[in-house]
Amino acid sequence: MTSRSFDDRLERIHWTPGVVPTHEVVDSVLGGRGLAQARSVGATLFGAILGILIGFGLKGVTLVGSPWGPDTGLIGMIGGGLSVSGLAVSVAMAGFAALRSRQHPWLMQFASMNLLMIVVLLLS
């Protein structure tokens, strides 16, 4: 039964063994996949590195004895402020990326990896 329906499909598309696809067919198949908006490893890697830095900064804000932890004065306020503002920007960017993921898929990769690394470091 399966072989018969497969043969029927081959007959409907007029396939003949040994025929090479034309350039038009290949271009239409490759064009339909959207290779111009391919995923970027660079955006994912940069999001992970930035997320690790922000998560490390947020983790250090609460640890006693860290250079920017409690009772460290001005350096603690600067380091903690940068870390908390990095978290706020990351959350806002993730919301923006969720809305614009079709136009800018690299932004969604960056923002999701960024938030993932922040959460992983905060939970560790």
pLDDT per position in the chain (124 positions), as tens? Answer: 455 677 777 677 776 777 776 777 667 766 655 544 556 789 999 999 999 999 999 999 888 888 888 888 898 899 899 999 999 999 999 999 999 888 888 899 999 999 999 999 999 8
pTM of the model: 0.67
Question: CA–CA distance from 105 to each of 31, 41, 113 (Å)?
Answer: 17, 12, 13
Task: Compute the C-alpha angle 18/19/25, nearest 5°.
Answer: 145
The sign of the torsion formed by the CA atoms of 39, 41, 42, 47 equals: positive
Cα distance between residue 95 and residue 116, in whole Å = 14
H-helix segments, 13-104: 23-32, 41-62, 74-99
Total number of residues shown for the chain: 124
